Amino acid sequence: MLRSIIVIAGALTFIAGPALACKGPHVKFTDDFRQIDDSWGIDPNSDTVSVEAGKVKVKADPSGGYTILYGGAVFDDADLCVTVQVPSQTGNADQLAAGPVFWAQDYNNYYTFAITPGGSAAIVRRIRGKWIYVLEYRKADGIKTHPGEKNVLRVTTSGNVVTTYINDVKFATVKAQVPENGGAIGLHAESEQAHRDTWKFIDLKVTDLAQ
């Protein structure tokens, strides 16, 4: 996506745990990755996505990206939280990124909120297979950048307004084009040029908006 990334269709799963930032009174979706929900459509013959010990690991090809969508539900106004763990080994910290996907129509049309181990974040839209920056990468307060550290990313959608947070620190609010009848959620991870980077996603939670 970002930086000429190739996105490959795949698929995946999640829960609540550190995802306490989503405080809406009604939980719409959680997944603890203990049992794989086939609605994620993970290819058992590929090593790009694996699930173990309550973590989803995504290992995209070098200079590539991989997106996983959940086909079991769509959401419009909602609070989405997921914990993203920084890869244990990286080279160029600004060449790789990962984060939640929201308002997805298919693998060629969706939004993602992504962070890098270099401490930057962006809101990006994929439309008809091409990447468009809603908000380009910029330094973000609150990102934990050391190998193995965990960041809780939160995306709140209300009408056409998208508000994003990193570890309960607000990153940005933007206006965007809302898909009719909402969209699916998912995960997106990218690797740097030199090698495959392993991103881990630990918790996912979707609630309605807090009052």
- Output the tens digit of pLDDT for each of the chain's 211 residues: 543 333 333 333 333 344 457 888 899 999 877 776 788 878 878 889 988 888 999 999 999 999 999 999 999 999 999 999 999 988 888 899 999 999 999 999 999 999 999 999 999 999 999 999 999 999 998 899 999 999 999 999 999 999 999 999 999 999 999 999 899 999 999 999 989 999 999 989 999 997 6
Instruction: Determine the Cα–Cα distance for residues 121 and 118; give it in Å rounded to an integer.
Output: 9
Domains of the chain, residue spans: 6-207
Amino acid code (one letter) for 174: V
Instruction: Determine the Cα–Cα distance for residues 3 and 134; give it in Å rounded to an integer.
Output: 14
Identify whether the C-beta of residue 196 lies closer than 8 Å to the C-beta of residue 61.
yes
**pLDDT for residue 48:** 93
Give the CA dihedral 185, 10, 129, 5, nearest 10 degrees.
Answer: 100
Identify whether the C-beta of residue 16 lies closer than 8 Å to the C-beta of residue 203.
yes
What is the model's pTM?
Answer: 0.88
Q: Which residues pair with 176 in a beta bridge?
A: none
Q: By C-alpha distance, which of 152, 109, 115 is closest to 131?
A: 109
Assign 108 to helix, strand or coil: coil
* CATH of region 6-207, choose from 2.60.120.560, 3.40.50.300, 1.10.1040.10, 3.40.640.10: 2.60.120.560
**pLDDT for residue 12:** 36
**pLDDT for residue 157:** 97
Q: By C-alpha distance, which of 40, 39, 56 is closest to 48?
A: 56
